Amino acid sequence: MKIKEILSQNKILPLATICSEGDARNIATKLIEAQCPILEITLRDERVRSILHIFQEYSGLTVGLGTIRSNEDIDLAINNKLAFGITPGFSPKLCGYAQSKDFLIIPGIQSASEIMQASEMGYSILKFFPAELSGGVERLHAYKSVFPDISFIPTGGITETNMGSYLKLSNVIATGSSSIISNDLIKNQHWDELTKRLDSIKNKNE
C-alpha cells in the first residue's frame, strides 16, 4: 500500500523517541494490536540508531524515520528498510539525495515559498512544522486554495485536544503527535495506558 493510502486510513501519526529494544518491541506490539499500523521514530536519541532493525520483524507496521538531517540519516533509514523519512525543514540537498536513492521523504515546510520549492521537486505530501507556532489551523486553511494539490501533516504542539480541528481540514492528510507515545509513558512503561490512547485516537479516524 502506498504511504498516501496508509495515511488517509490512519490519520494520526504517532511519534516516538525510542531508546531500547524492549521499548521498541512493546510499542510495535501495542500498535499492531490496536490496528494503528504507522509510526514515526524520531532521531532524537543516538541509541535508536542500533534498534531500528527490530522493526523489520513487524511486517504489519509502516515505520518512518523522523528528524532526518543528513545523508547518513537517510542511509540509516534505507539500511534498516524503513518505509519513509521525514525532515523537520525543507532541504533541497537532502531531498535530492533521497530521490537519488529512490527513498520516500516527507519534507517539512512552514512557508508558501518552501511549499513551492518542495512542490517543484515533486513532493505533494509535506510536514507542516511547527504547526501550532506557525499559524496552525488558520494558516493551513489559507494554503488550501493556493495549493489545492498539496496534503499536509501538521506536527508540533498537536495533542488529542486540538488534533480534531486540523483533521477537519480537507488539505490535512494526517496529524503527527508525540503526545500519544510520550517520553513519560515510555519511561514509566505504561503500556496499558498506550492501549487506551491508541483506542481513543482510532475513534478519531472513523
Q: Known catalytic residues?
A: 40, 127
- Looking at 95, 156, 173, 175, which residue binds ligand 3PG (CB under 6 A)? 156
Q: Are 176 and 201 in contact (CB under 8 A)?
A: no
- Looking at 177, 186, 198, 201, which residue binds ligand 3PG (CB under 6 A)? 177
Cis peptide before 130 (omega within 30 of 0): yes
Nearest alpha carbon to residue 63 among 126, 10, 122: 10
Nearest alpha carbon to residue 180 among 193, 165, 164, 167: 193
Dihedral angle sign, alpha carbons of residues 80, 84, 87, 91? positive
Question: Could you give the string, one character per residue 59-78, with x where binding to ligand 3PG holds by CB under 6 A and - elsewhere?
Answer: -------xx-----------
37 or 66, CB closer to ligand 3PG?
66
Residue 110 sits in the site that holds ligand 3PG (CB under 6 A): no
Integer Cα distance of 203 and 67 in angstroms: 28
Residue 153 sits in the site that holds ligand 3PG (CB under 6 A): no
Q: Are 49 and 67 in contact (CB under 8 A)?
A: no
Q: Are 109 and 139 in contact (CB under 8 A)?
A: no
Q: Label each residue of 81-97 as H, E or C.
A: CCCEEECCCCCHHHHHH
Residue 173 sits in the site that holds ligand 3PG (CB under 6 A): no
Minimum CB distance to ligand 3PG, residue 59 (Å):
25
Residues 7-36 that bind ligand 3PG (CB under 6 A): 15
Q: How many residues bind ligand 3PG (CB under 6 A)?
A: 13
Residue 175 sits in the site that holds ligand 3PG (CB under 6 A): no
Span from 4-12, 75-83, 174-182, 183-191 in contact with ligand 3PG (CB under 6 A): 174-182
- Looking at 48, 178, 186, 201, which residue binds ligand 3PG (CB under 6 A)? 178
Interacting residue ranges for ligand 3PG, rule: CB under 6 A: 15, 42, 66-67, 129, 155-158, 176-179
